[in-house]
Structure 1
């Protein structure tokens, strides 16, 4: 169940992973309580860096917990053909977060408190993972019959729970400020219409992923899945019908990326229809289908990020 839960969380990350920061004039404090472009950009930078860190670290932690499960089994004498390969966390953006932006105003202290927990648990997990690898590689489990492996696994699970709780709290707290910051920087942006529409599409996709994550853990509900499909299909159709007509040469080349984003969103619908059909027959969402949805989601997300950068 641990792996399934984290898969669902991982799928739902970074709906607004990259926000557009160009084309803004300075605006006073009266606008959304932000002090203008500089303060808005600081919030957007924090949002982008944190969510990218959270996404990549979540996948890494998923691997660590799978390794811990196998480590306990091996230490207890069960047959484990191969220990899970845990890739290094490609978390290059975490180091870019130097401080909590002042633009969070009254929420800054609360954001900072959750971020400290996030950072601490992230570091704890890495240390305990290294300790567990040393224990397994040296075959120290032959001395204590796996007792240490069980203890480390218990600690890893507790730290992972705290990590994800802090991460979800941060996501919820920084979103309103990020949305406000985007309104500031998009005030006169040549691509405002297309960015807002595309973001709405991604928000709908996030809702789809959240539903499928919950149904993957539990019972497949065709009516709910179809309703979300229809809602997302409407967003894809609306976005695809927009005629990208930006004259500014700085952004006119974005037309190809906008079309690619819409094409990938349409391809996601193909994958989604297959999942609904297969899940209806099986009575649950098959592993292969959720993996295909995950891959298709990543493709849509990456093309969205490329478009708005």
Structure 2
């Protein structure tokens, strides 16, 4: 599996939805088939925790694949100066997921099945990388000329493919109910206008990231990249024009978080322009530019999550 594909997947994960929880009404019961506001909140929590876990594990897997490539090379006698560092994954969000909420109703069983695969592959990948690290540390590759390193790499890549397939299936299954739960929770929320507008920014940003991920691993198309830039810039401008005026004093501290989100969203635009200019000149998206975009995306997402939570 190509590492750049993993990077694209890690970049394009959907932003965590709002978790500013409020009571769920009759609309929630109709849409989600839920009996109480607890069900709506459970869906929001599952969504947020799963997305955080998926993002974290995707980054972890990227490092693992880099390590496996270098391990195979070194075990076969190639010159590898420094082996990549792969630390134990600390996935706190994953540990918060105790079960699939009943509010997912008819999709609950399917989500549980995919989540079991997701969990099993996640655990197996971690076991295999530890096995490979032990093999490299003991220099056992001197006995089999790297045969085991190659075998473990193939096993890990197979599990990684299955992990991402399960992750994408879960994302597709939980989205409708999560959107409905969010709509219910926001129905009478004091910050509804700002949250919905900010989410529009994130949706546009995710669309940008999805496109750049594809173009990074494929061919750069300036017209497509520019079109996404203009769509995102429009959403950012509309959000920045909103005057944060929430009467409820318990949300007064959110003003600075809203402004921070807008600033980070605007900073992303600067790097996006640079990426387009450099890619146009070089004929492809540069590694340095995609790394800067990745870091900037994390900043925007972090600011968004701080605002809506």
TM over 0.5: yes
8 Å CA contact 1:21–1:44 kept in 2: the answer is: no
Partner of 2:245: 245
Give the 5 Å matches for 1:87-106: 87-106=87-106
Q: Does the Cα contact within 8 Å between 1:201 and 1:236 map onto a contact in 2?
A: yes
Contact 1:46 / 1:97 at 8 angstroms: preserved in 2?
yes
CA distance in 2, matches of 1:189, 1:23: 7
Q: Shift in Å at residue 281 of structure 1?
A: 0.1
1:175 and 1:264 map into 2 onto residues whose CA distance is: 26
Q: Residue 30 of structure 1: SS of its match in structure 2? A: helix
1:150-205 deviation digits (Å, cap 9, x = unpaired): 10000000000000111111111111111001011111110011111111110000
Q: What runs of 5+ residues in structure 1 fail to find an aligned partner?
A: none
User: Are the equivalent residues in 2 in contact too, given 1:24–1:187 (CA < 8 A)?
Assistant: no
SS of equivalent to 1:82 = coil
In structure 1, the residue matched to 2:18 is: 19
1:93 Cα offset (Å)? 1.1
Corresponding residue of 1:302 = 302
* Matching residue of 2:227: 227
- Residue correspondence of structure 1 range 1-309 to structure 2 within 5 A: 2-15=2-15, 17-27=16-26, 29-309=29-309
- Distance between the aligned counterparts of 2:20 and 2:34, measured in 1? 14
Once the two structures are TM-superposed, the CA of residue 2 in structure 1 deviates from its matched residue by 1.5
89 and 18 in structure 1: CA distance in 2 versus 1, 3 angstrom threshold: farther
Q: Which moved more, 1:113-122 or 1:248-257?
A: 248-257
Query: Following the alignment from structure 2 to structure 1, what is the Cα–Cα distance between the partners of residues 242 and 33?
Result: 32
Which consecutive residues of structure 2, in runs of 5 or more, have no partner in the other structure?
Answer: none
Q: 1:135 to 1:31 in 2, by over 3 A?
A: closer
| Distance apart, 1:14 and its partner CA | 4.0
Residues 14 and 52, structure 1, Cα contact 8 Å, conserved in 2: no
Does the C-alpha gap of structure 1 residues 115 and 209 become closer, same or farther in structure 2, counting only changes over 3 Å? same
Residues 99-146 of structure 1: per-residue CA shift (max 9 Å, x gap)? 110011100011011000000000100111111011000010111111
Partners of 1:26 and 1:175 lie apart in 2 by: 20
Measured in 1, the distance between the counterparts of 2:235 and 2:59 equals 28
The Cα shift of 1:32 comes to 4.4
Q: Helix, strand or coil for the counterpart of 1:304?
A: helix
Per-residue CA deviation, residues 55-81 of structure 1 (Å, 9 max, x unaligned), is 101110111111011111111011110
Q: C-alpha separation between the residues in 1 aligned to 2:50 and 2:270?
A: 31
Residues paired across the two proteins, number: 308
- Cα separation, 1, equivalents of 2:308 and 2:200: 13
Q: Tell me the distance in 2 between the aligned counterparts of 1:109 and 1:31.
A: 18
Give 3-state SS (helix, strand or coil) of 1:292's partner: helix
Q: Secondary structure at the match of 2:52?
A: helix
- Rounded Cα–Cα distance in structure 1 between residues aligned with 2:24 and 2:155: 49
| Alignment deviations for residues 8-51 of structure 1 (CA, whole Å, 9 cap, x no partner) | 00111241x24223232443622443334111000000001111
Contact preservation (8 Å) 1:36, 1:184: no
In structure 1, C-alpha distance between the alignment counterparts of 2:246 and 2:23, rounded to whole Å: 17
Give the direction of change, closer, same or farther, for the CA distance of 1:87–1:247 in structure 2 (3 Å limit): same
